Amino acid sequence: MDREIVRRGLIEAVFVVLAGFSMGALVVVANFADYGLWLSLDVGGTIIFVALAAGIAIGLRLQDAEPQFLVLAGFVASSIAIVIVVLSVYAPVFAGVVPSLEALGPSDSARAVIIFASLFLIPIHLVGCVAGYALADFLAPEGFRRGRAPERL
3-state class (DSSP) for residue 66: coil
In degrees, rounded to 5, the angle at the alpha carbon of residue 104 between the alpha carbons of residues 38 and 27 is 45
pLDDT higher for 131 or 98? Answer: 131
151: buried, middle or exposed (CB in 10 Å: 19+, 13-18, 0-12)? exposed
> How does the average pLDDT of the chain come out, rounded?
83
In 10 A of CB 2, how many CB atoms? 7
pLDDT of residue 54: 93
| Contact between 129 and 63 (Cβ < 8 Å) | no
Rounded Cα gap, residues 63 and 137, in angstroms: 7
| Contact between 66 and 6 (Cβ < 8 Å) | no
pLDDT of residue 152: 42
Confidence class for position 142, pLDDT limits 50, 70, 90: low
Pure H helices in the chain: 3-31, 43-61, 67-89, 91-95, 108-118, 121-139
Over residues 80-93, the pLDDT tens digits come to 999 998 888 888 77
Rounded Cα gap, residues 88 and 33, in angstroms: 13
Rounded Cα gap, residues 64 and 55, in angstroms: 15
Confidence class for position 78, pLDDT limits 50, 70, 90: very high
In degrees, rounded to 5, the angle at the alpha carbon of residue 138 between the alpha carbons of residues 135 and 141 is 130
